[in-house]
Amino acid sequence: MRQIFFAAAIVALVAATPSFGADLPVKAPPAIAAAPVLFSWTGCYVGGHVGSVVSEDRTTNVLGNSIGFSSTGFVGGGQIGCDYQFAAGWVAGVEGRGRDRVQLEG
């Protein structure tokens, strides 16, 4: 009887273990990192700018006379150009700028 018990236990242990032969998970191939994109200053551009100023300046001399240097104005303009990078750290280019300034009296 003991032999049947040991035989049944061995059969149970062998049957209870999972089989790993045909159902092994497939490992994905390691991801290959893309080559970094090198930055280049080569190219053309167009841009614009605007700004304004309001100042209230006043000075007083030793005699007590006060003089004001107040101003209000607007500035705007644009630029266009092209650059060429011919080596690491070396860029050559041309740029044209236009600017208009308006002084407001108040």
The C-alpha atoms of residue 43 and residue 104 are separated, in whole angstroms, by 38
Rounded to two decimals, the pTM is 0.47
Report the C-alpha gap between 46 and 44 in whole angstroms.
7
Which has more pLDDT, 99 or 20?
Answer: 99
Q: Tell me the backbone φ, ψ of residue 16, rounded to 5 degrees.
A: -85, -15
* 93-106 pLDDT, tens digit each: 999 998 877 776 65
22: left (phi over 0), alpha (psi -120 to 50) or beta: alpha
Name residue, tokens 């998970």.
25
Q: What is the per-residue pLDDT for 21?
A: 59
Residues 43-94: pLDDT tens digits?
Answer: 999 999 998 888 888 888 888 888 877 778 888 899 999 999 988 889 999 9
- Residue the block writes with tokens 């390691």: 30
What is the structure's pLDDT at 63?
85
Owner of token pair 């630029």: 79
Distance CA 58, CA 29 (A): 75
- At residue 19, the pLDDT reads 62
Q: Give the Cα separation of 61 and 67 in Å (integer).
A: 8
